[in-house]
Amino acid sequence: MIDQNTPVTVLGTGSMGSALAAAFLAARHPTTVWNRSPQRAAPLVAAGANQQLAIADAIAASPLIIACLTTFQATRDSLTAVEAGLNGRTLITLNSGTPSEAREFARWVTYHGARFLGGAIKNVPSAVGKPDTLLYFGGEQAVYDEHAKTMRVLGGDLVHLGAEPDLAALYESAVGATLLPTLLGFFEGAAVLATRGVSARAMVPYSIKWLQMIETLLPVVADEIDTRDYTRLGSSIALFDSATGYDEQLGKESGIDISWHAPMHDLLRRAVAEGRAEQSITALIELLVTPAARQEP
Instruction: Choose which of 7, 27, 40, 238 interacts with ligand NAP (CB under 6 A).
Output: 40
Give the strand order in the sheet containing 8-11.
50-51, 31-34, 8-11, 64-67, 90-93, 115-121, 134-139, 157-162
Nearest alpha-carbon partner for 96 in 136, 140, 129: 136
- Residue 37 class from Cβ within 10 Å (0-12 exposed, 13-18 middle, 19+ buried)? exposed
Min CB(68)–ligand NAP separation in Å: 5
- By CB under 6 A, what part of segment 71-90 binds ligand NAP? 74, 77-78
Interacting residue with ligand NAP among 4, 37, 212, 259 (CB under 6 A): 37
* DSSP state at residue 104: H
Least distance (Å) between residue 79 CB and ligand NAP: 10
Q: Determine contact, residues 101/71, Cβ cutoff 8 Å.
A: yes
**Enclosing H/E stretch for 221:** helix 204-227
Neighbours of 196 (CB within 10 A): 7
Cα 240–Cα 242–Cα 244 angle in degrees, nearest 5? 75
175 lies in the binding site for ligand NAP (CB under 6 A): no
**Phi and psi torsions of 157, nearest 5°:** -105, 90
Q: How far is the CB of 56 from ligand NAP (least distance, A)?
A: 14
List the one residue from 58, 68, 92, 237 that touches ligand NAP (CB under 6 A): 68
Examine residue 15 and tell whether it contacts ligand NAP (CB under 6 A): yes
Cα gap 264→259, rounded to integer Å: 10
Which of the stretches 66-74, 143-151, 231-239, 286-294 binds ligand NAP when contact is defined by CB under 6 A? 66-74
Contact between 167 and ligand NAP by CB under 6 A: the answer reads no
Residue from 52, 96, 279, 280 binding ligand NAP (CB under 6 A): 96
Site size with ligand NAP, rule: CB under 6 A = 21
Taking the alpha carbons of 67, 69, 73, 79 in that order, is the dihedral positive or negative? Answer: negative
- Which C-beta is closer to ligand NAP: that of 75 or that of 282? 75
**What track of x and - describes contact with ligand NAP for positions 109 through 148 (by CB under 6 A)?**
------------x--xx-----------------------
The residues of the shown chain that bind ligand NAP, judged by CB under 6 A, are: 12-17, 35-37, 40, 68-70, 74, 77-78, 95-96, 121, 124-125
